Structure 1
Amino acid sequence: MFVAAAALLAAPLLPLPAAHADAPATKATTKSGTTVVGTAANVGTAANVGGTPDTGRAPATAEQRRDAAQSGHDRERDSKGWRGTWAASVQPPSLTLFPNWSREGFKQQSLRQVVRVSIGGTAARFKLSNRYGSTPLRVAGATVGRTAKGAAVRKGTSRALTFGEEKAVTILAGADVFSDALRMRVKPLESLTLTLYLAEPTGPATYHMSASATSYRAAGDLRSDESGEAFTDTSVSWYYVAGVEVRGGPVGRRDGVVTFGDSITDGLASTVDADNRYPDELAERYAREGRPRSVLNHGISGNMITFGTVGTGESGVDRFKKDVLTEAGVSTVVVLEGVNDVGLSEIPGSQVPDVSVEQLVAAHRDIVRQARAKGLKVVGATLTPFRGAMYFSERGEVKRDALNEWIRTSGAYDRVVDLDRALADPADPDRLVPAYDSGDHLHLSDAGYRALAEAIDIDSL
């Protein structure tokens, strides 16, 4: 879902290079000591960026081969004990909804970002993404520390990250990379601060538009600056960071939950830096009951299940494989998506073509099929009320009602969460309960996101 419809509708339908999506990742280490990660098709080019000839790729060590397999997102890494604890779906660089740094990128700057994990462990590793980059991304160095206030890191907790035992890494266009394991005891619901030093021009940045969290930028190499005082530039997007995994918890446990959808899942309009998105509230419920459980947020504001745009990411059907099926330790996915398809396709002059109920149903069935092929339980959530929203129409409401009835009664999903009824105003079931309405009649308030999380039977997950 979205705030600025005019900007959103100006975004063309999204063209994506197929080679970036599915080619297996490989890795090499150059003579200059830079780890290089990318697709098999272009690893030679990346090695040359690091300062060695295309034919001069160093033989991979056993450790490097292991990391390369992990950066290829093979779900078999579950057996090595890694489990997802935080995630964000990445998007192409865009200025669609609000100002951010994705189009300009970074040069000789330190980028500091805060993430709150859902479960803990005795080691952690961070996933960086250059999925939508057009050139190799060089990260000159990175540190992780325990979050203090704002951009500050708790004194004495900052630790260097490595990649293939090197401090620097070059990530090829279209590729992702995991850092080496960092021995660090992480608690459930703990906030961690990641700082990247980007010395060379990055070009436009792969990012996550609506973070509902503050990111910080400063000139120069400030990886080790724990005070945070120099980080005066701020943004409410995340850049390059796409996931955090931990290990050292219950052996062989595979019970993580992925929440998948649009801005209702993303938490748009929730209080910034308060971690009040509904997936956060869900993780807090598990923690309060003494059974912390991984809850991963793969929502993108403005996202549609049938179509993709530059500003709102690939369609739900297309990104499901990349965002959900690559996650470690997951057993269940909750799907809440389709109202943007309904609303945007009803706006006169929209670049989004008319979306029928049949197309929406087909897209939901496709996601169910993908999930079950990987052995995941699939929970379908009905679309929440939106009467009064800027793209509401009576024709769109008919589509929403029809899709919701299909979700409730078709039996396509393993379980159903009826958010339509849980969040509807009894006086007008097509509207949100006023206390749950952020004010735009579409997105939820903090109380609304909490009510959404409470509407889910966590035992059924």
Structure 2
Amino acid sequence: MHVLPRRLASASALVLAVVMAGSGAASASSAPAPTAGTARGWVAAWAASPQRPGANYTPNWSEQGFAHQTIRQVVRVSVGGVAARVRLSNVYGTTPLLVAGATVARTAVGAAVRRGSVRHLTVNRSRTFTVPAGAEIASDPVPLPLDALSSVTITLYLAVPTGPATYHAQAMATSYRAAADHRADLGGSAFTETSRSWYYLSGVDVVGGVRREGVVAFGDSLTDGYGSSPDADNRYPDELAERLAAAGRPRAVLNQGIGGNRVTVDSVWLGDKGTSRFRRDVLGQPGVGTVIILEGVNDIGMSQAPSPIGAPLTDVSVQQLIAGHRDLIRQAEAKGLRVIGATLPPMKGSRYYSAQTEAKRDELNTWIRTSGEYDAVVDLDRALASRSDGDQLNPAYDSGDHLHLNDAGYRAMAHAVDPADLR
């Protein structure tokens, strides 16, 4: 059982009472309304970027959806608090999503949850609720104290057919599915099917924790964590959150990467272009003060090499990429965020590499380093390069495809970020 010290418990009760009194009706809209909660102290502790249902690099359940099934999903919050709420997204759904019941609990092992920690989620105090098509909603607050870097399990019971599901393709984590209603199960034996994607889940917010402003890591598969060990939380945003906590300066770090995503090109399977989704995935997150932008390698690479899941070739010039980065910078600055630009890491030997794409990468990196348009720069190109060939990843960081990183590489990415650059 999670027991709070007496003084903290009293403070927690006061914070929760204030939150509950001011929570009002949960909101639903095409743009995430939870930002309104910032005034009451809500901080996004975990997030994932929603994607349209479809085929992707690994098999998933998004196209078929769910009917009379329970989904159990595990995420790790980057900061803790005394109460939590869960955000669910149906932004790419064409019909309303009826949630017959949902719970949140502290994770035990696998699909099992800790005894005494199960809390039923409600919206407008109802355990059954609907997420409108094209919208996201936040649950009512629940009194569930969470520690920083602890895992939380969200379970959804979907009784009627959902149709294709809004999801996040590359979770690098295991989700579980069971037939019938198992939302309140402590054990995981009913959850006999697994997936490596998240479904409908877009955020977990906390209140009553640290007051430092959060950081959004925005980008593609290098941010999403492709190549890292599944279920190990070794993506670079995870590693950055661990590093900040170990240094005694904990703050929320949110992963808003989408594998294959591009700054300038929309894709059915690889996400809306960066300039379009930035408002929702970055500016719509409560409690954020800094964004780190690492994106452009797919714009460059897919100008020459087609995606293995069918994204067509689209020739993107460096000038178009710079214009896209400037758009992201303007959006962030208009909301008062500090904006950090990350240079694109080496890709020699990958399917994206050619003399032409390397020239584009070098030109974009030079602009990121020298233009002065970013508030700060994290030079991943130099931090991750081989000592013998600056156009190639350090072999110690290479996952094997000469483009994506292994666990050591993502750790090196996190250590390349200067904490002094975060607002």
Contact 2:30–2:135 (CA<8 Å) still a contact in 1?
no
Deviations 1:189-235 (A, max 9, x none): 01000100000000000000000000000000001111111111000
1:342 aligns with 2:300: yes
After TM superposition, the structure 1 stretch with the greater mean CA deviation from structure 2, 303-312 or 147-156, is 147-156
Contact 2:30–2:91 (CA<8 Å) still a contact in 1?
no
Amino acid at match of 2:379: D
How many Å separate the matches in 2 of 1:69 and 1:220? 29
Measured at CA, do residues 71 and 383 of structure 1 come closer, stay the same or move farther in structure 2, by a change above 3 Å? closer
Q: How high is the sequence identity, in percent, across the aligned residues? A: 59
Q: CA deviation at 1:269?
A: 1.1
Contact 1:70–1:178 (CA<8 Å) still a contact in 2?
no
1:21 matched to which residue of 2?
none
> Normalised by the size of structure 2, how large is the TM-score?
0.92
1:364 aligns with 2:325: yes
How many Å separate the matches in 2 of 1:72 and 1:398? 39
How many Å separate the matches in 2 of 1:364 and 1:447? 28
Contact 2:85–2:138 (CA<8 Å) still a contact in 1?
yes
- Tell me, what secondary structure is at the counterpart of 1:452? helix
How many Å separate the matches in 1 of 2:22 and 2:375? 41
Q: CA deviation at 1:90?
A: 0.5
1:288 aligns with 2:246: yes
2:391 matched to which residue of 1?
430
Q: CA deviation at 1:151?
A: 0.6
Q: CA deviation at 1:391?
A: 2.2
How many Å separate the matches in 2 of 1:129 and 1:68? 9
Q: CA deviation at 1:263?
A: 0.3
* Structure 2 gap segments, 5+ residues each: 1-20
How many Å separate the matches in 1 of 2:311 and 2:325? 23
How many Å separate the matches in 2 of 1:374 and 1:352? 34
Deviations 1:21-57 (A, max 9, x none): xxxxxxxxxxxxxxxxxxxxxxxxxxxxxxxxxxxxx
Q: CA deviation at 1:290?
A: 2.1
How many Å separate the matches in 2 of 1:308 and 1:431? 28
How many Å separate the matches in 2 of 1:326 and 1:197? 27
1:47 matched to which residue of 2?
none
Measured at CA, do residues 62 and 454 of structure 1 come closer, stay the same or move farther in structure 2, by a change above 3 Å? closer
2:85 matched to which residue of 1?
125
Deviations 1:51-100 (A, max 9, x none): xxxxxxxxxx9854464699852634311110010000000001121100
Match of 1:390 among 333, 347, 351: 351
2:136 matched to which residue of 1?
176
How many Å separate the matches in 1 of 2:348 and 2:23? 55
> Normalised by the size of structure 1, how large is the TM-score?
0.84
1:234 matched to which residue of 2?
194
- For 1:113-262, what aligned pairs fall within 5 Å after superposition? 113-250=73-210, 253=211, 255-262=213-220
Contact 1:90–1:207 (CA<8 Å) still a contact in 2?
yes
1:403 aligns with 2:361: no
2:277 matched to which residue of 1?
319
Contact 2:29–2:136 (CA<8 Å) still a contact in 1?
no
Amino acid at match of 2:237: P
Measured at CA, do residues 98 and 69 of structure 1 come closer, stay the same or move farther in structure 2, by a change above 3 Å? closer
How many Å separate the matches in 2 of 1:402 and 1:125? 43
2:66 matched to which residue of 1?
106
How many Å separate the matches in 1 of 2:28 and 2:261? 30
Q: CA deviation at 1:460?
A: 1.6
Contact 1:380–1:413 (CA<8 Å) still a contact in 2?
yes
Amino acid at match of 2:201: V
Match of 2:382 among 413, 421, 446: 421
Contact 2:263–2:321 (CA<8 Å) still a contact in 1?
yes
Match of 2:54 among 94, 106, 113: 94
How many Å separate the matches in 1 of 2:132 and 2:320? 35
1:453 aligns with 2:414: yes
Contact 2:23–2:141 (CA<8 Å) still a contact in 1?
no
- Tell me, what secondary structure is at the counterpart of 1:398? helix
1:303 matched to which residue of 2?
261
Contact 2:382–2:390 (CA<8 Å) still a contact in 1?
yes
How many Å separate the matches in 1 of 2:255 and 2:249? 19
How many Å separate the matches in 2 of 1:218 and 1:74? 30
Q: CA deviation at 1:447?
A: 0.3
Match of 1:375 among 326, 336, 359: 336
Contact 1:307–1:352 (CA<8 Å) still a contact in 2?
no
2:235 matched to which residue of 1?
277
Amino acid at match of 1:155: R
- Tell me, what secondary structure is at the counterpart of 2:203? strand
Amino acid at match of 2:315: D
After TM superposition, the structure 1 stretch with the greater mean CA deviation from structure 2, 385-394 or 410-419, is 385-394
Amino acid at match of 2:65: G
- Tell me, what secondary structure is at the counterpart of 2:390? strand
Contact 1:67–1:180 (CA<8 Å) still a contact in 2?
no
Measured at CA, do residues 62 and 184 of structure 1 come closer, stay the same or move farther in structure 2, by a change above 3 Å? closer
Measured at CA, do residues 69 and 111 of structure 1 come closer, stay the same or move farther in structure 2, by a change above 3 Å? closer
Contact 1:381–1:407 (CA<8 Å) still a contact in 2?
yes
How many Å separate the matches in 2 of 1:104 and 1:418? 42
After TM superposition, the structure 1 stretch with the greater mean CA deviation from structure 2, 353-362 or 389-398, is 389-398
Aligned residues: 399
Contact 2:67–2:159 (CA<8 Å) still a contact in 1?
yes
Amino acid at match of 2:344: L
How many Å separate the matches in 1 of 2:54 and 2:311? 18
Q: CA deviation at 1:291?
A: 2.3
1:77 matched to which residue of 2?
37
Amino acid at match of 2:186: E
Aligned CA RMSD, in angstroms, stands at 1.7
2:8 matched to which residue of 1?
none
Q: CA deviation at 1:255?
A: 1.2
Amino acid at match of 2:399: S
Contact 1:264–1:301 (CA<8 Å) still a contact in 2?
yes
